[in-house]
Amino acid sequence: MATAAAHRTAGAPAYGAPDAGPEGDIRQRAFDAAVAADERIEPRDWMPEAYRATLVRQIAQHAHSEIIGMQPEANWITRAPSLRRKAILMAKVQDEAGHGLYLYSAAETLGVSREELLDKLHSGRQKYSSIFNYPTLTWADVGAIGWLVDGAAITNQVPLCRCSYGPYARAMVRVCKEESFHQRQGYELLLALSRGTPEQHAMAQDAVDRWWWPSLMMFGPPDDASQHSAQSMAWKIKRHSNDELRQRFVDICVPQAESLGLTLPDPDLRWNEERGHHDFGAIDWTEFWDVLKGNGPCNEQRLTQRRRAHDEGAWVREAAAAHAARHNGKNNGPTGVEQA
């Protein structure tokens, strides 16, 4: 580890430092060497401005996805069909808020504030995962989200546990543990439906039919259309390409669908002996870009609800800040409340 430790330039500002000039060259070389040696970049280390900006974008969007992702599932909390399922779903939605908190904290180590990031989410300047723009129309959707959406998220996130930026990698370790638990619960929910009454089985199949393709889209555009991929892989933020991860996910899901007794809605899906992978049909990229641009089934609704929660909560945050200011920080507001 000592080989490239020179990137830990004592006392150097972590960001905003000039990248150019002889000193910048030295720092750049030290940074490159640290990344090459699989060392972790930490908040006080020098880093290229573009690396910082990419991480802020990615971590913020990841955090936003956790927060917006609470909505489609929370939609079923009040209608969960048994108390056991209700408890599981409540715990899951609570975990997601917690993941959002870890991730905003990780982003804040890069010199941005949670307030600033939420503002960008609310004004549409930063995105969240396109998957959450699909509606949860039946109880089985809760299971399909657990199995497929959380499954895709885990496939994406497990390699991020080795991401070059330390705070993000460490957040991912915690997030992935909880996500795999959610994923198994979703699978188990679908299994109960699949083995239940004919109506329950049909409900499960319908949910898988609707969530399969959007889940495959979660890995992002194909490699030849992914604008950030090459640089992110060079920086070891990303470890595998979108298409590699998507293939891995399909290969994992096919046998799971079989043991669930459910089919995947793709007539072209078959095992390819030569490749040692499943071939699968073409993704509707027009739909993907459309949803990303804001024209999915729930884009408007999700953002409106998020903005409303924030706006209607303003007086509460102001009260906490005023109280804290008056009482010298005793009985402080929650950590996220801006001290006025």
Partner 1 sequence: MPTTAALALGDDALVLSHRLGEWAGHAPVLEEEVALANIALDLLGQARVLLSMAGDEDELAYLREERAFTNLQLVEQPNGDFAHTIARQLYFSTYQHLLYGQLADSDSEFAPLAGKAVKEVAYHRDHAEQWTLRLGDGTDVSHERMRRACEALWRFTGEMFQPVAGLDVDWSGMEAAWLESVGDVLRRATLALPEGPRTGAWSAGAGRQGLHTEPFGRMLAEMQHLHRSHPGASW
Longest dimension (CA), the chain: 71
C-beta of 37 vs 87, nearer to partner 1: 87
**Binding of partner 1 at residue 328 (CB under 8 A)?**
no
Token pair, residue 145, equals 């989200």
Among the listed residues 231, 319, 329, 339, the single contact to partner 1 using CB under 8 A: 319
Which helix (H) or strand (E) element contains residue 86?
helix 83-108
Q: Which residues of 255-288 are buried (b: 16+ CB within 10 A; e: fewer)?
A: ebbeebebebebeebeeeeeeeebebeebeeeeb
* Minimum distance of partner 1 from residue 336's CB (angstroms): 5
CA distance 70 to 94: 8
Q: Which stretch binds partner 1 (CB under 8 A): 79-87, 164-172, 221-229, 284-292?
A: 79-87
Which x/- pattern over 286-305 shows residues binding partner 1 (rule: CB under 8 A)? -------------------x
Q: Would you say 44 or 86 has its CB closer to partner 1? A: 86
Q: Pick the binder of partner 1 from 21, 199, 227, 328 (CB under 8 A).
A: 199
Find out whether 108 and 172 touch, Cβ atoms under 8 Å.
Answer: no
Q: Are 72 and 136 in contact (CB under 8 A)?
A: yes
Is residue 315 at the binding interface for partner 1, with CB under 8 A as the rule? yes
323 forms part of the interface with partner 1 (CB under 8 A) = yes
Q: Shortest distance, CB of residue 149 to partner 1, whole angstroms?
A: 16
Residue type at position 331: N
Binding residues for partner 1, how many (CB under 8 A)?
56
The C-alpha atoms of residue 89 and residue 140 are separated, in whole angstroms, by 12
Q: How far apart are CA 183 and CA 189, in angstroms?
A: 10
Residues that bind partner 1 (CB under 8 A): 67, 70-71, 74, 77-87, 90-91, 93-94, 97-98, 100-101, 104, 139, 189, 192-193, 196-197, 199-200, 305, 308-310, 312-320, 322-324, 326-327, 331, 333-337
